[in-house]
Chains A and B, each alone.
Chain A
């Protein structure tokens, strides 16, 4: 699938959606995210950041999941043109 631009998931503003392009982090966290259904082309919506700015709640496949900045930065997302 073609994306105009790609950026880390952490940069997705509240209330906006994007699709996963790739997962960078290696190892357990990557597998964990995949097991939660975060695979390529999955639509992710940024719901809300915590008051301190970290972590952030995302809507992934109907489930609300909180990801820390360090983990969300490892997920590359793109907005479809």
Chain B
């Protein structure tokens, strides 16, 4: 059995679908994989079970998802853990990678979103990263289906091979390392035991802080040797953000943009809507004649034609065109990275209503529903 682990929103479900060929729903919300999804991955004539774990930032087992992911990886059932990381912010992703390596050396790192990283001019020395981590590292762009055959091959090879003898280790402060040394338990279990009964002079909180700090520090060390982010790389994004989200223009620009999207959706949909409505409703009379001709009673013909067919024709002609226009535009905005910025700008207003900015986006989709009632043909 193979486990698929990674931070939320790194394209884990996309990798899962690509490897298994199954179409589990993927989305851009963090923590989407609520319960474990299973799938079968085929490589040459072999089949492996792949389990998509919930996306987490850490395996410290403080939340339900973290506990599920941690217990599963540590359980003897998993032969290999495939880590999916976001190449555009690898340093943060390395924190989870290091935590997993404390649980098991049997892992492969899939460096996803390499295309995005390239766009941002982030350079990652894959060979150096492989050497630092001690596990195979495969660069991928799962959405464009790049690097996936290599990933499948690496997974199959790693499954047959022995676990690497040495993988990247988190270096804890002396006091923790000394306390861990006498234990014969695996490092992660010894650490959990230590958290239950901290060494004298340390509170559980202090110990926990030290552990997290050591992990982040180690991730930083590895990032420093393997990643180069030119200062100019993000400069363009920042400049654009300063205009798009400036105090003066940010909100008006956003309102204009969203109004434009609604305008295109509403008025653009009218043309195909009336075309569909004309043609579908135009079929009603031939249908009535045909049904009457085969000898159905008049009441049944009326139910089928005036009831079922009219409702079906109206719903399709009114709902299909706006959806076919709105969702692609929304996807474009999402890919351009504008949607998280909308959520950012509106968070304050939504917070006042005890909600969060992300909900503005669900509302956008909801508002789109309103026009149905306004434009529905009588």
Residues in A22-49 with C-beta less than 8 Å from chain B: 28, 31-32, 34-37, 39-42, 47-49
Q: Is the CB of A31 within 8 A of B216?
A: no
What is the number of residues of chain A that contact chain B, defined by CB distance less than 8 Å?
A: 27
CB of B119 within 8 A of chain A?
Answer: no
CA–CA, A12 to B88, complex, Å?
A: 25
Residues of B in contact, count (CB < 8 Å): 36
A81 within 8 A of B: no
Find residues 86-116 in chain B having any chain A CB closer than 8 Å to their own CB. 88-92, 95
Q: Are B219 and A50 within 8 A (Cβ)?
A: no
Chain A's closest residue to B242 (CB) is A48
At the interface, is chain B mostly helix, strand, loop or mixed?
A: helix
Q: Is A5 an interface residue (CB 8 A)?
A: no
- Chain A residues whose C-beta falls within 8 Å of the C-beta of B324 in the assembled complex: none
Beyond A31-B62, A51-B247, A51-B250, whether A36 also contacts B347 by CB under 8 A is no
Cβ distance B192 to chain A, nearest Cβ, rounded Å: 16
Expressed in whole angstroms, the Cα–Cα distance for A28 and B348 within the complex equals: 21
A57 to chain B, nearest CB (A): 7
The 0/1 profile, CB within 8 Å of A marked 1, for residues 347-361 of chain B is 111010000010000
Asked if residues B344 and A62 are in contact (CB atoms below 8 Å), the reply is no
Question: What are 28 pairs between A and B in contact, CB < 8 Å?
Answer: A31-B62, A32-B57, A34-B209, A34-B216, A35-B60, A35-B212, A36-B92, A37-B91, A39-B209, A39-B212, A39-B217, A42-B216, A47-B238, A48-B241, A50-B344, A51-B250, A52-B348, A54-B351, A55-B347, A55-B357, A57-B241, A57-B344, A60-B92, A61-B223, A62-B90, A62-B91, A63-B91, A68-B351
Given A34-B58, A53-B348, A55-B347, 17 other A-B contacts at CB below 8 A?
Answer: A34-B216, A35-B95, A37-B95, A37-B219, A39-B213, A40-B213, A48-B241, A48-B245, A50-B245, A50-B345, A51-B250, A51-B345, A55-B357, A57-B344, A60-B92, A61-B220, A66-B344
